[in-house]
Structures are given as C-alpha cells and as structure tokens.
Structure 1
C-alpha cells in the first residue's frame, strides 16, 4: 500500500465516474467534488447547511474547523451545476425541509462514518489501489492549487 496522502486529478475523475454507479450519484458527486474543490474536511463538508450556499452570488460559506479561517469561497460553473442537480434530487427526499446540505434517503444528516464507508466503496469501484479516505481530497486540493501556482 502506498503512503501517498493525496489523490491525483485523474483519480478524482475516476472517483466521480464511480459515483454514477452509486445509489445516490448526485449527492455523492456533489460531496466529493465540493471536498476536492474547497479542500473540505469530512466534518466541514457534512456540517454544510443549505444557508451556506448562495447560487445567485455563486458563493459557499465554509465554516473551517481546527482554528481555520471561515470565509466565502467562489463556486465555479461546473460546481453550481453539480450542486443544483443534487438539490433537485434532495428536494424530493424525506427530510428535504432540514437544514443540512448532505442528507440520507431517510432524511438524516450524513455521518462521517457513512462518508468514509461510501468513499472506500467508491475507491474500490474506481479501482484505486491506495487505501483511500476522504481527507485525501483535502490534500488533493492543495496539490492542485500548487500545480496551478496557487
């Protein structure tokens, strides 16, 4: 098993492709994409509320943990589409009136444990040989920013 702590861009694409075969492709794609683009920790992503997203101004308010700076992040065009697809499905689910962005089909907030299980399963489907975990998306964001000179 490799000790690499991040996923490459091609591995992210494979994970997002694997989401299409999952039971909740819109939610899973949105969750993984947002974690990658914004460098979110699992707990930060799962604590997002509907009120943290403003599709009109194309902003996401990120409540950082571990003494990080909570700030507004811009939403990119592709991300807005992915979020809208998830919200369209989410609005049909039990618990759609709840404030959490990422809910289960039972209408409860998604847990970290469920996210880890889901992520591991998607990694198997994507045939990733690393022992992957959601925090690798945060590291992937950092590497992607560095590659672009950020």
Structure 2
C-alpha cells in the first residue's frame, strides 16, 4: 500500500488477506502456503464474499475484506504476477447506516463520577474518561498520546489521526483538572506499584525513555487499546447503565451533544478528524430521531 494508512488498517488488511488465502486453500485442498497466484481471480473473490455472507459477517467487515483483496490484486498486477484486477468487478456490500450508540448527558456525568479519585489509579482513569468525552478522540488516538501532545494551559491536545492527518482539539477545564491531578502522582504511582512487584527503577526509566506516553500501565509503559477498552466497559457496567457501551460511544456522545447544542457540522467534522463530511452526517440521524420523538409527544395530531 502506498497510501498513508494507520497501523490498525494494515493489520486488519493482513488478517483479511490471510482469511481469503485460507479460504482458497480449503477450496483447493492445499496448504495456504502453496496456493498458486493463478487462483487469485474474480470467481474466487465472489465465492469468498458469498461465504462471508453465509457466515453472517457484517457488511462493513465484508467491505473491508474486499478492499484488502482489491489492494493486493492491484499489487500483483503491477508486479506482473497476474493479468487482471481480481475483485474490481465484485460489488461492494451496501453498508448499514446505523445510528451511532451514545450516552445521554446524565449518563455521561454519572460515568465520569465513577473512578475513585482518592486513589492514583482512579485519578488516571478519571483523566482518561474526561479526556475521551471532552475531545471526542478515537481509542487509538488517545492511547497514542505522549506528554508533549497535551497543552494544559491552552487546553489543546495534538492528535495524529487516520491517514497521518494531524489536528488540534480543545478540551474543557474539567478534563484539564483531571489530567493535572493524574500527572501530579504519575511518577509516584508507577514507581510505587513496580517496587512492590520487585521491578527495578532502571527498568521503569528505560520504558519511559523509549517514549513518553501520557497514560501509563503499571509497568511504566503505554496503556494498550485493549486495557482502555476494558476500563471503559467496566465503569459503564458499574454505573448500571447500558451494557455494551464502548470507548467509541464516548466519541459519539461528544459529537451528538455538540450537534444538539447547535454546533456546526463542519466544525464537528474537524474536531473528529473525519476526512469526509458524509461520515460526520451520521450524527444528524441521531438528532432527527430525537426530533421525531419530540414531535410525536407534542404535536396534537401526531
């Protein structure tokens, strides 16, 4: 791929291609390592897409797998390995336009109050939740933040988004206060936890020198996306609110609440780092749904 795509996209494409090759191997009765390039053709791609449909794979996942196959097919053609463009004539699954899941303002307030701010880990978790909702960052963007990306005085965070696009996003005073509170005992927190586990300070310092992540795990390294995902889901569960709410729901809540209060759609697009306005327009469906409910409740003849 010669486009500037994220590491997550590359990994997803690798997995998708592996699945396609494994599918071909089963069809041919061969090992995946011995599938000939000559089998990489439209008919095989169509059969693979049909199998995905039979398994109940979502349209968005199927569309991504097809995109990975097309990219690989173009590469093989440019390298002179095959003549055609496999997958080019295969129709892309029509994507579902789901209304993004989000929390109401009261639910967000309850969630933000859940971490125990008297404890170091609680202060870290509160800073994570506050920044999520204050900035609308993607999960991958939040865990990738380094200390130097945060300007607490100006209340701005510098983000490296999809496709390598950089943007600056503001955040409010509550988030700044939560981050300041976490940063005060950040070093003490890591040193204290690791000393109990017998990990030497030199190991901790080495981990810090390699990069300077904003949010740390107990070993002094960068928190993983999986850890933050579990963290958010745990607090939502303890909150007694809806189950299945992911970190992405806080991003959706950020956008929805801005839109409800009159924010311009173009401004929201910039804040979210969307390349296309059509992606941001999903949030207008949320607003439309609320307006319909209000209409039914208030109009005399509804």
The two structures have a TM-score, normalised by structure 2, of: 0.45
* Other structure's SS at 1:18 match: coil
- 1:19 counterpart residue number: 115
Number of residue pairs the alignment of both structures matches: 147
RMSD, aligned CA: 2.2
Superposition pairs for residues 1-150 of structure 1, below 5 Å? 5-20=101-116, 24-65=121-162, 67=163, 69-92=165-188, 93-94=190-191, 95=204, 97=208, 98-150=211-263
Unaligned runs of 5+ in 1: none
How far the C-alpha of 1:68 sits from its partner, in A, is 7.7
How far the C-alpha of 1:36 sits from its partner, in A, is 1.0
| Structure 1 stretches of 4+ moved >4 Å | 95-98
How far the C-alpha of 1:4 sits from its partner, in A, is 5.9
How far the C-alpha of 1:20 sits from its partner, in A, is 2.0
How far the C-alpha of 1:44 sits from its partner, in A, is 0.4
Q: Which stretch shifts more, 47-56 or 14-23?
A: 14-23
The two structures have a TM-score, normalised by structure 1, of: 0.86
Would the alpha carbon gap of residues 18 and 34 (structure 1) be closer, same or farther in structure 2, given more than 3 Å must change?
same
Distance 1:27 1:129 in 2: 23
Greater RCO (Cα-Cα under 8 Å, separation 6 or more): 1
* Other structure's SS at 1:56 match: coil
Bigger proportion of residues as helix: 2
Would the alpha carbon gap of residues 116 and 23 (structure 1) be closer, same or farther in structure 2, given more than 3 Å must change?
farther
